[in-house]
Amino acid sequence: MAEKNKLSLSVQFADTRLAEALPRPSIRAWVKASLFASAELTIRFVDAEEGRALNRDYRGKDYATNVLTFAYDEAGNDAYAESEVSDTVHADIVLCTEVLLSEAAERKLPVQQHAAHLIVHGILHAQGYDHEEDAEATEMENLETEILAGLGIADPYAEIE
């Protein structure tokens, strides 16, 4: 993130299990490394019940998932009037602690490393990146790998292939 870009970041631990393992300065560094613009963001860690409810209510999928991104200034979103859309990214990134812990254990990854990957992934979604099409997925995965490498974190996709 260029120095001129400003970041307003709120970190919430509704599920406190990772509060000590994921220091706010680390989370802030992961977010900043992922941003290409100024941003107003909330990163929220939730339990499986809240994660499942959000995924069900907003995506129609009745299970807790690892990360959800709610970007509030994307085209078609009623949260902002068209005149209010700016170059600033506005989003909530919700991580389900239980899923994050389970995936990290299953892949034999340090929790911090997996959390960094999910945060980078969520921040890229907030900036309009997606992985619905193969070409989009490749672009997004390459960006994630590059950002994480800059943070000293191994390629997350090499770990699961």
Domain limits, the chain: 7-160
pLDDT per residue of the chain (161 residues) written in tens, 0 to 9: 445 789 999 999 999 999 999 999 999 999 999 999 999 999 999 999 999 999 999 999 999 999 999 999 754 344 444 434 468 999 999 999 999 999 999 999 999 999 999 999 999 999 999 998 999 999 999 999 999 999 999 999 885 54
CB 73 within 8 A of CB 79: yes
pTM value? 0.88
Q: What is the CATH number of domain 7-160?
A: 3.40.390.30
Residue 121's nearest CA partner among 88, 95, 150 is: 95
